[in-house]
Amino acid sequence: MNKNHKILIIKVGYSETLDSEISNYTSYGDVLRSTVLLNLYKDAHVTWLVDEKAFPILKYNPYINRILRYDLSSVLQLQSEHFDTVINLEKVPGLCALTDKITAWRRYGFRFDSKTGEAESYDGSHVVLEMCKNIEKKKNITVCWQEGLFEMVGAKWNEQEYILGYKPKTKQNYNIGFNYQVGNKWPLKAWPEKNWKELEKLINGKYSISWQQGLNNMEEYFDWINSCELIVTNDSFGMHIAIALKKKIIALFGPTNHRENYLYNLGIALYPNNDFSCEKFPCRDFNCVKFDDTCMRLIAPNKVFEEIQNLIGR
């Protein structure tokens, strides 16, 4: 494969590749973790179609030759280009229809069904699509996200990592970063504020702490995460940034399945303790039907503190 081999990756961020949900919110984490595919195409000419808001995630990436912002102009342009391979990781019907209209020798991911008006799969992606449609299969997933993504393009994942082009400007200034916020799409994934406050009391000055920064500027957010030795985080974009920057990680999971996320031996995933009983866990619901707040409250701060000490080692 060489620079004459043209690859188009369509990952705008409107739908998560392994979820059935199509959202008005751009999934930054899904865009970032999709960069693992670039390991397969380092010698090719790669074009990536992405939402404007997610552009900073791909900016400076050495393995992306061209980033196109998703708009009418880029859609018209792509319909007139030829590619060797098109990989569509979006299940938005309009993007699937666009994929079908682009001239290409081979296609992976999702296509448009003109009879139903819905997303269907190209060969090799039917297992992923079936998982999206079947919540029980999604809940009981045994392969991590990267494995599923590589299978979609007919490759085997060998623990290849995310590729973030941005080079942080900061040095390590804090022992621990509290990545406490989550996106608007899934507020149930947030560990309650009182738990964060309790964890801060348990730390009691033993380690330096920084609360989440850079909320209004993505590059400042990258810099903040890079300034921390260890990140305590919800299942969120910040978790994926921490993975990309190879930070020590304690990831907190409730409604989502921790097995879907591979942490590259950087840390540990924690979820509600053993005496927690919920027949739907992990429910993948946007509203909890069992508790007044969320099962995330059952992740004990003292357990998180214990793991902090284990990972920092002092």
Question: Among 125-134, 166-175, 300-309, whose mean pLDDT is lowest?
Answer: 125-134
Question: Among 67-81, 118-132, 270-284, whose mean pLDDT is lowest?
Answer: 118-132
> Are residues 95 and 186 both part of a single domain?
no
Number of domains in the chain: 2
Gyration radius from the chain CA atoms: 20
Q: Is the residue at 167 inside a domain? A: no
Of 291, 256, 283, nearest in space to 270 by CA: 256
> Are residues 103 and 217 both part of a single domain?
no
Q: State the residue range of the domain holding 244.
A: 174-312
> What is the domain-level CATH number for residue 79?
3.40.50
- CB-neighbour burial class of residue 267 (10 A; exposed 0-12, middle 13-18, buried 19+): buried
Instruction: State how far the Cα of 267 lies from the Cα of 263, in Å rounded to an integer.
Output: 6
pLDDT for 274 equals 61
> Which residue, of 89, 118, 152, is where some domain finishes?
152
> Are residues 47 and 117 both part of a single domain?
yes
> Are residues 137 and 236 both part of a single domain?
no
Q: Is the residue at 262 inside a domain? A: yes
**Per-residue confidence band for 72, with pLDDT thresholds at 50, 70 and 90:** very high
pTM for the predicted model, two decimal places: 0.90
Average pLDDT (1-8) is: 85
Reported as a single tens digit per residue, the pLDDT across 14-57 is: 876 545 455 567 889 999 999 999 999 999 999 999 999 999 99
**More confident of the two residues 80 and 290:** 80
Instruction: State how far the Cα of 46 lies from the Cα of 61, in Å rounded to an integer.
Output: 11
> Are residues 38 and 122 both part of a single domain?
yes
Region of residue 156 (phi > 0: left; psi between -120 and 50: alpha; otherwise: beta): beta
Instruction: State how far the Cα of 131 lies from the Cα of 141, in Å rounded to an integer.
Output: 8
Average pLDDT (209-213) is: 97
Site of tokens 């699509």: 129
Instruction: State how far the Cα of 7 lies from the Cα of 64, in Å rounded to an integer.
Output: 10
Q: Do 214 and 268 meet the contact criterion of CB atoms below 8 Å apart? A: no
> Are residues 22 and 144 both part of a single domain?
yes
Q: Is the residue at 80 inside a domain? A: yes
Reported as a single tens digit per residue, the pLDDT across 178-208 is: 999 987 776 778 899 999 999 999 999 999 9
Question: Among 34-48, 59-73, 242-256, whose mean pLDDT is lowest?
Answer: 242-256
User: What count of other Cβ atoms lies within 10 Å of the Cβ of residue 310?
Assistant: 12
> What is the domain-level CATH number for residue 292?
3.40.50.2000
Instruction: State how far the Cα of 144 lies from the Cα of 256, in Å rounded to an integer.
Output: 13
Q: Is the residue at 228 inside a domain? A: yes
**Structure tokens belonging to residue 138:** 């999604």
Report the alpha-carbon angle 37-40-45, nearest 5.
95
Q: Do 99 and 10 meet the contact criterion of CB atoms below 8 Å apart? A: yes
> Are residues 241 and 109 both part of a single domain?
no
- Give me the percent of the chain exceeding a pLDDT of 90: 63
Site of tokens 């859609």: 75
Q: Is the residue at 208 inside a domain? A: yes
Average pLDDT (108-134) is: 66
Q: Is the residue at 160 inside a domain? A: no
Q: Is the residue at 158 inside a domain? A: no
